[in-house]
Each structure stands twice: as structure tokens, then as C-alpha cells.
Amino acid sequence: MAKLFTHHDPFHIHKILGLFVLLHFLYRFLYGALIRGFVFCSVHHANDGLCSPDKVHWDAICVVLHAILSWSSLLLPLPKTRNYSSPMIWTEFRLHSITFATRGVVGSLISLYGLWPQQLLLNFFAKLALVLATCYAADWITQKHGCTEKRTTNAMPYPTCITPEMQQNVKYIYAMKQFAAALSCISEDPATPWATLLAIQGAPLLMTLVRKGKIQSLTYHRAYILQLATPMYIFLLGNLLHWNRYAGVSLAVHDNMKRVTVVAAVHLLTTYLRITLRYSKFLTWAISTAFIVVLTQIPILWNFVSWCHTNPYGLAFLVSRHVLLGQGILRHYVPVFTLAKKAPEKWEDVAMAWVNRMGSGIFVRVAVDTTSSKKLLD
């Protein structure tokens, strides 16, 4: 079994930063979201007297260290060719990971210091620029270091027990989560773009464990799924625990869950436009960004979103929506969590039995029709 610690990391810079990032995730999610009631101290929290202005700078430094972790991965050597038999890091993936992690850090820093333009059109163009710049950077990386036919998601290796149909469903949800991650970075809450880093930076760690022989590819997919799902439900639980704690003191406290709700709604639209209707990237993100701006900048709409997070009846509505959305996603992930000892030909029957038991949800309809999206995802 290959050693986890090697001489390729000078002064153990990458490992030390990785350990800090793991502890940082635990601290922010457990203490920030669940105990304190807000993940980061932004200028809005400081203005409301919930923390000192110096705390804003400290939180910004912690976020920047996430970017340094991703960029420090360039110190480590990689095989020149991609391994298609197991999920392992290759050059294109590493550069994509750095690009998307940098996007999350930039979005978080802008929100920490309240630097998003207040004027409606400027706000729209600034957010659209961040999203499209990341998209075009990722496309350039693929052209230089990858393959347009076998991309990161569509050519990801799966265990032999996962049928092609099941793979297609999981790929569809991975695509949805990628859309949600992009929208999170323009949500104007520092915690929401930062939370996308859990999966973005967690995936390379899991791939490293696969390469070192510590885990199998099925374990990779299981852990990656949990990384994708964890932030939303931690934020939701934190909102339930603290829904009335800061009433009359600060509206910024509940911002992260309000932004998550907006992102959860708009990313369904993004998926429909890009995968079902096959709109261009520019048009898809222009429309989606416009919806983000409208929902967060128009007072009457934002007041409704705020009501859903600070009123018992609104919270009941909110929880039901997120539970139904989670149920729809779980339908596609059930095969990955089923015991691998099952015979491959019986997996589909097991999955369908779970689906029948789960019932149906309002949000599921958007994710069910994967037939029309197969060509794009492939």
C-alpha cells in the first residue's frame, strides 16, 4: 500500500494546509452554523454589533487559506495520463479544482466585505462576469489539458455494480450540484460560496486516498455525495435552532440559509435551461443570474424569503420544500448506498423498491427526465 505521506510535498505545506482546512470546516459548521447561529462574521454582522471589525479580517484570512491549499497542489507531481479505471487526480481535474475553489473564495471574500455593487444592473453584470469567467477558464483548461468527449463528470469511473442507467442519474445530479455551486458564489453570503469548497476540495482528498489504496471507488462516490449534501442541511438545522435568537438585532444572521433557499430554487431553473432546453452557457447563466439578482435585490421578494426563515409557518414551508428536494436527489443516489454485495442484475429492482417507498415530491419532476439530457451529459 502506497504511503500517504511522501517527499513530494516540500516542508509538508500542502498537508498542513489540508489539516487546517479540515478543522476549519468542522469549526464553521459545528460552532458557527449550529452553536453561534452564523458561520462567518461579515461587515454586516460587524455593523450590527455581533462581532468586531477585526474578526472580519480574521475570517477572510481563513477563507484565503482555502485558495492557498488548492494552489499548493501544483507542488505535487501527477501522472501525465488520466486513469479511467478509478477516480484519481489528473492534470485537467487539478486545474479545474483550483479554478472552482478560487471562484468560491473570491465570492466569499466579496460577500464578507460587502463589495457587491448595490445598483441593480452593476450587481447583475458583476455576478455574471464571475460565473462566466470561471466557465471560460474551465473550458480553456479542458482544451489544453483534457478531452471534450471524456470530461471530468461524464467519464468518471464507477464500480461495475452500478449500471449505465444508474450512472446517468447520478451524473445528472452531479451536474445540478455544479450549477448550484456556481450560483452559490454570487449569493452575497460569505458562507454559501465557502460551503461549496467542501466538495471541491474534498474530492481531491478522496481521489488521493483511492490512488494510495486507502479506499475503493464506491467509497469515493459515497463520501462525495455526503460532501455535496452536508452544507445545505447543516445550514437548515442551524436556521431552525436560531430562527428567533437574533430577532430585532440583526437580519444578517439568517442570510446564509436564505441565500441557500434562493440558490436551491434557481439551480432547478438552470438545470432545465442548460440540460433540458440546451440553452448556451451564456444565455443560461444570464437568465439564472438575473433570477438571483431579482430574488435578492427586489424588496418585496426578498422580504418573502426572509419571512420564510424568521416565522414558524414560513419555516414549516421551508423545511417541507427542502425535504422534498432532498428526497428527489436521494432517489438517484440510492444505488450508490446499496450494499455492493448485491448482484448487478438485481440493483435496479432494489433501487425501484426504494423509489416506490419514498413516494413523490414536487421538485422531483425536474430531475426525473434524464433521457433528453443524456447526449449533453455524455
* pLDDT tens digit sequence for 151-183: 777 777 887 777 788 788 788 888 889 999 999
- pLDDT value, residue 334: 56
Rg (CA), the chain: 21
- pLDDT value, residue 338: 57
- pLDDT value, residue 58: 97
Q: What is the pTM of this model?
A: 0.84
- pLDDT value, residue 347: 43
The packing angle between helices 281-297 and 164-184, to 10°, is 50
How far is Cα 367 from Cα 318, in angstroms, rounded to an integer? 20
- pLDDT value, residue 35: 95
Work out whether the CA dihedral 324, 325, 326, 332 comes out positive or negative. Answer: positive
Question: Which cell numbers in the block locate residue 293?
Answer: 439578482
- pLDDT value, residue 136: 96
- pLDDT value, residue 277: 95
Give the chain's residues under pLDDT 70.
1-7, 247-249, 251, 254, 321-378
Neighbours of 42 (CB within 10 A): 28
How far is Cα 45 from Cα 356, in angstroms, rounded to an integer? 45
Q: Cell 449534501, residue?
A: 229
The DSSP 8-state label assigned to residue 32 in this structure reads: I
Neighbours of 68 (CB within 10 A): 15
Neighbours of 97 (CB within 10 A): 20
- CA nearest neighbour of 328 among 283, 358, 286: 358
- pLDDT value, residue 4: 63
**Is 251 strand, coil or helix?**
coil
- pLDDT value, residue 246: 72
The packing angle between helices 197-211 and 91-112, to 10°, is 150
- pLDDT value, residue 95: 96
- CA nearest neighbour of 296 among 240, 264, 244, 258: 258
How far is Cα 94 from Cα 23, in angstroms, rounded to an integer? 22
Neighbours of 31 (CB within 10 A): 11
